Amino acid sequence: MDISQGFITFLRSLLLTMVPFVLAAQGTMLAGRTGVFIVAQEGIMLTSASVGFIVSYKTGSLFYGMLAALLVGGIYGVLIAYMTTTLKMNQFVIGLSFYFVGVGLSTLIPKLVIGVTLTPPLIPTLQDVPIPALRQIPIIGDIFFNHNILVYLSILISMLLYYFLYKTSWGLEMRSVGENPKAADSLGINVSLQRYIAVIIGCMLIGLAGVYLPMVYTGTFTEQMTRGRGWLSSALAFFGGWRPLPIFLGSLFFAGIEVLSYRVQVQSVGIPYQFLLMLPYVATILVMMLTFKRSTTPAFLGKNYDREKRTL
Amino acid sequence: MFWWYREIMKKILSNTFASYFLAVVLAFIASGVFIAAMGYNPLKAYQTILFTSFRTVNGFTQTLLKFIPLTLLAFSFTVPYKTGKFNIGGEGQFLMGAIGATAVGILGANLPTYILLPLVLLGGIVMGGLWGLIPGWLLYQFKISEILTTVLLNFVSFALVNYIATAVWGDPTAGHPTTLPIGDGGHLPMLVGNPPLHSGIIILLLVAVGIYYFTDRSTLGYDIVATGANPRAASVYGINTRVMFVLGLLIAGALAGLGGAIEVAGIQHHLIEGMHSNFKILGIIIGLISGGSSLAVPFVAFFISILEVGASAMQRTLMIPIEVVYIVEALVLLFVLLSDVVRRR
Burial call A151-176: b when 16+ CB within 10 Å, e when fewer: bbbbbebbeebbebbeeeeebebbbb
Which residues in chain A touch residue B281, judged by CB atoms under 8 angstroms apart?
A: 96, 99-100, 103
pLDDT in the model for residue A2: 65
CB distance A38 to A31 below 8 Å: yes
**Best interface-test mutation with A: which of B323, B329, B332, B335 has the largest number of A CBs within 10 A?**
B323
Domain membership of residue B312 (yes or no) is no
Domain membership of residue B309 (yes or no) is no
Burial call A82-105: b when 16+ CB within 10 Å, e when fewer: ebbbebebbbbbbbbbbbbbbbbb
Distance from CA of A188 to the nearest CA of B (A): 26
For residue A156, pLDDT over 60 is answered with yes
- CB contact under 8 Å between A285 and B144, yes or no, is yes
pLDDT in the model for residue A76: 97
Which residues in chain B touch residue A107, judged by CB atoms under 8 angstroms apart?
A: 323
pLDDT in the model for residue B185: 87
For residue A310, pLDDT over 70 is answered with no
**Best interface-test mutation with A: which of B160, B326, B327, B328 has the largest number of A CBs within 10 A?**
B326
Report how many domains make up chain B.
1
- Of A74 and A293, the structure prediction assigns the larger pLDDT to A74
User: pLDDT in tens for each of the 345 residues of chain B?
Assistant: 566 777 777 776 677 788 888 899 999 999 999 889 888 889 988 999 999 889 899 999 999 999 999 999 999 999 999 999 999 999 999 999 999 999 999 998 888 889 899 999 999 999 999 999 999 999 999 889 899 999 999 999 999 999 999 888 988 888 888 899 898 888 988 888 888 889 999 999 999 999 999 999 999 989 999 998 888 888 888 889 899 999 999 999 999 999 999 999 999 999 998 888 777 789 999 999 998 899 999 999 999 999 999 999 998 888 888 888 888 999 999 999 998 888 776
Domain membership of residue B46 (yes or no) is no
- CB contact under 8 Å between B151 and A238, yes or no, is no
Instruction: CATH number for A9-128+144-291: choose from 1.10.3470, 1.20.120, 1.10.150, 1.10.540.
Output: 1.10.3470
Report A:85-144 residues touching B (Cβ under 8 A): 87-89, 92-94, 96-97, 99-101, 103-105, 107-108, 111-112
Identify which of A148-162, A256-270, B221-235, B279-293 has the greatest average pLDDT. Answer: A148-162
Give the pLDDT band (50/70/90) at residue A142: confident
Distance from CA of A277 to the nearest CA of B (A): 7
- Of A52 and B277, the structure prediction assigns the larger pLDDT to A52
Question: How many Cα atoms occupy the beta-carbon half-sphere of B163 within 13 Å?
Answer: 16
Q: Which of A105, A235, A280 sits opposite B148 (nearest CB)?
A: A235
For residue A4, pLDDT over 80 is answered with no
pLDDT in the model for residue A168: 93
Give the pLDDT band (50/70/90) at residue A182: confident
Give the pLDDT band (50/70/90) at residue A299: confident
**Above pLDDT 70, what percent of chain A?**
97
The helix or strand, by DSSP H or E, that contains position A127, with its residue range, turns out to be: none
Phi, psi of B192 (to 5 degrees): -130, 135
For residue A195, pLDDT over 90 is answered with yes
CB distance B183 to B105 below 8 Å: yes
Dump the DSSP string for B263-294: HIIIIISS-BTTTTTTTTTHHHHHHHHTTT-T
pLDDT in the model for residue B113: 86
pLDDT in the model for residue A311: 53
> What is the extent of the structural domain holding B186?
62-300
